[in-house]
Amino acid sequence: MLELLWIEEAANEDTRYKVFLPITTPLQYQPPQVTDDTVPEEQIFKVLLGPLGSDVVLINITFPSEVLSVADCNIRGFNIMEHTSPNSSLKVFSLVVPFTDPVVHQTKRGPGFTVYSLHLTFGLLVVPEFTQFSHTQIFFFFPPSTVPPQIIGGCDHQNFYVLVKYETHGFQTIIGKQILTPTLAEQYNFIDNGTHFSIVVPFSSPDTKFEAIESSSIRSRLDVVLMNQKTKNIMKEFSMSCKFHSTLIECFPNGTITALAVKLNSVPSLNPSQLTLRDPMCRPSFSDDRYAYFIFSGNSCGTTRKFLANVMLYENEISLPEETETESQPENDEPHYELKISCYYDVNSTSTVAFYTSPSKIEPRAKSGKGELQVEMRLALDNSYSTFYKLEDYPVSKYLKQPLYFEVELIAATNPSVSLELENCWATLNEDRRSHPRLNLIIDGCANPLNPYQVIFHPVWVDARVQYPSRFKRFEVQMFTFPEDDNNFDHHQLFVHCDVVICDNMNPLGGVCSGQCSSQKNKTKGILHTCYSNFKLRALD
């Protein structure tokens, strides 16, 4: 609008003249807006283009390897849709592209880590002028680290040992067929330090499976599965089989025979309580869902006897009665269960000995023996315990609250049943282990609960340097100062002392010999040694 104004001073009148003229201003450049609504859980890129005017039409989309029309995109599963606002003439286009489609580029950035990228160009048209324009956009998705957990394991004479290494604990642990609950974790001696956790599972646990039996051993298998908590996908499967010594058959001098039958994984439908000896009337003295235990004499239950060169052989067998096997497994391909029982008795070695006893007036006493055992305490550079400070490195300077990794080793012991246990560990300000002040780190084999710098015990596994893990103990504590010395700690040295007990695993006598941080009701018995290490504490800003 244009307005003209005339003013007549004499008549004191104003004259106004208004003219309405259409005026067109230059269009303001405003690039299209693109929104990235990628859904990682569904593994798709979700893209929104707009808002755009009602006169804008989407013609095609150009990818690095091909150009697809809107119809082709929908056939491909990209599901392009046009959304119009009810309150305006503006509209928005949406599409979804799966991570697995060939137009999505995948770049490996290390083990278990993949970057997904989507490069596209929208081809647009303005009607009725049929003016073409385009808009290019690149989308990236950086998933969180997906390095899968690692599982290793080993066995001794009665247990499975499992160690799991992980970066993020976003998974469930399944032992056998059970989820590792807090109750089950306590039962299996669960230990977790934030990057590793370990469990100890007895070979006879209900979560193991018996695969085979031999004359004096059972082969048992432990299965461990790590499952993603959100997707329920299996992240890692681990299986380990070991042979464990077990007395399945015992032959006593009075002719009594005992036999233990175990349920094998190859016959899952077997009910041990239905097993019998050759005489179907001879059933188990005890049975559950995994075992059947028989007690019988050599002249009963269908036991046969043979005379060989210098021995008598008694034989029997454990199996399912034919009628029971036919009724319970009419169309089952499971193998027939049968356990042979054999007992050998010497024919010509029987002798009769008569003797008399009288009470002794003097209690027998064992004569004390002497020997030397060497125990060494070391400070490791990190929690791998592969590299240690040398003698010339001491004293060692550390930041406050920086982790200290200690290792104590029983050196050059020849008896494989000997083990080392920590009894007490403490810190002082000078080399005298009896000096004060004193800060207790470990008391009676347990971390001191009153110590603000809590001790963390680390498991020891067999490797190139460690042949007998029972002769090593490892623990971690943060660098600290004495409470009464907080303002004057930059010139002191700190000494760490430990009392250890050497135990005989074949004859445990209670106390710390029953295991790290065990009940202390029994008096500790063993060989006591003392070792210490030192390092200098320096305040660093």
Question: What 3-state class would DSSP assign to 508?
Answer: coil
Asked whether residue 235 falls in the same domain as residue 257, the answer is no
Structural domain includes residue 5: no
Asked whether residue 43 falls in the same domain as residue 171, the answer is no
Q: Which of 126, 127, 104 is nearest to 116 (CA)?
A: 104
Distance CA 308, CA 9 (A): 152
Domain boundary among 227, 245, 263: 245
Contact (Cβ atoms closer than 8 angstroms) between residue 36 and residue 95: no
From first to last of its 541 residues, what are the pLDDT tens digits of the chain? 678 887 777 777 778 888 777 777 666 667 788 888 888 878 899 999 988 888 889 999 999 999 999 999 999 999 999 988 788 778 899 999 999 999 999 887 665 567 889 999 999 998 888 888 899 999 888 776 567 789 999 999 899 999 999 877 778 899 998 999 989 999 999 999 888 999 999 999 999 999 988 878 899 999 999 988 877 888 899 999 999 998 889 999 899 999 999 999 888 888 999 999 999 999 999 999 899 999 999 999 999 999 888 889 999 999 998 776 666 555 567 788 889 999 998 887 656 777 777 776 666 665 656 667 889 999 999 999 999 999 888 888 888 889 999 999 998 777 778 888 899 999 988 888 888 888 999 998 899 988 888 899 999 998 888 888 889 999 999 988 877 665 555 556 788 999 998 888 777 666 778 766 754 444 344 555 555 555 554 434 4
Residue located via tokens 């969180």 = 144
SS3 track for 392-429: HHCCCCECCCCEEEEEEEEECCCCCCEEEEEEEEEEEC
pLDDT of residue 531: 55
Residue located via tokens 């809590």 = 454
Number of domains in the chain: 4
Q: Which residues contact 419 (CB under 8 A, 6 or more apart)?
A: 410, 470, 471, 502, 503, 505, 513
Asked whether residue 300 falls in the same domain as residue 193, the answer is no
Structural domain includes residue 288: yes
Find the Cα–Cα–Cα–Cα dihedral 487, 488, 493, 494, rounded to 10°.
-30
Distance CA 285, CA 300 (A): 15
Asked whether residue 316 falls in the same domain as residue 208, the answer is no
Q: What is the DSSP letter of 335?
A: P
Asked whether residue 390 falls in the same domain as residue 525, the answer is yes
Q: Which residues constitute the domain of residue 42?
A: 34-141
Supply the Cα-derived Rg of the chain in whole angstroms. Answer: 40
Structural domain includes residue 279: yes
Task: Give the CATH number, domain containing residue 455.
Answer: 2.60.40.4100
Asked whether residue 166 falls in the same domain as residue 208, the answer is yes
Residue type, 369: G
Q: Which of 404, 402, 380, 400 is nearest to 390 (CA)?
A: 380
DSSP readout, 439-490? EEEEETTEE-TT-SS--EEE-----SS-S-GGGEEEEEEE----GGGTTS-T
Distance CA 136, CA 121 (A): 4
Domain boundary among 190, 215, 245: 245
Asked whether residue 402 falls in the same domain as residue 340, the answer is no
Whether omega for the bond prior to residue 86 falls within 30 degrees of 0, making it cis, is no
Q: Give me 376's structure tokens.
A: 């060494």
Structural domain includes residue 302: yes
Q: How many residues does the chain have?
A: 541
Residue located via tokens 């470990």 = 442
Q: Which of 186, 213, 181, 212 is nearest to 199 (CA)?
A: 186
DSSP readout, 21-45? ----PPPPP-PPPEEE--BGGGTEE
Question: What 3-state class would DSSP assign to 202?
Answer: strand
Task: Give the CATH number, domain containing residue 319.
Answer: 2.60.40.3210
Q: What is the DSSP letter of 523?
A: P
Domain boundary among 102, 124, 141: 141
Q: Which of 381, 424, 387, 428 is nearest to 405 (CA)?
A: 381
Q: What are phi and psi of 90, to 5 degrees?
A: -80, 160
Q: Count of alpha carbons within 13 Å of 50, Cβ hemisphere only?
A: 21
Structural domain includes residue 414: yes
Count of other CB atoms within 10 angstroms of residue 26: 5
pLDDT of residue 513: 81
Structural domain includes residue 7: no
Distance CA 430, CA 438 (A): 10
Task: Give the CATH number, domain containing residue 223.
Answer: 2.60.40
Q: Give me 534's structure tokens.
A: 């030192």
CA torsion sign for 324, 326, 331, 335 is positive
Asked whether residue 466 falls in the same domain as residue 519, the answer is yes
Chain CA centroid to CA 56, Å: 56
Asked whether residue 95 falls in the same domain as residue 194, the answer is no
Contact (Cβ atoms closer than 8 angstroms) between residue 4 and residue 14: no
Structural domain includes residue 330: no
Structural domain includes residue 358: no
Q: What is the DSSP letter of 177?
A: T
**Cα first-last separation, the chain:** 73
Distance CA 125, CA 55 (A): 8
Strand (E) or helix (H) holding 171: strand 171-175
* Cα–Cα distances in angstroms (integers) from residue 335 to residues 269, 342, 414, 530, in the given order: 11, 22, 46, 59
Asked whether residue 431 falls in the same domain as residue 490, the answer is yes
Asked whether residue 271 falls in the same domain as residue 381, the answer is no
Q: pLDDT, tens digit, for every residue of 311-348?
A: 899 999 999 987 766 665 555 677 888 899 999 988 87
Burial 165-177 (b: 16+ CB within 10 A, else e): ebeeeebebbbbe
Q: Which residues contact 208 (CB under 8 A, 6 or more apart)?
A: 160, 176, 201, 202, 220, 221, 222
| Rounded (5°) CA angle 153-477-397 | 120
Asked whether residue 379 falls in the same domain as residue 527, the answer is yes
pTM: 0.42
Distance CA 220, CA 240 (A): 8
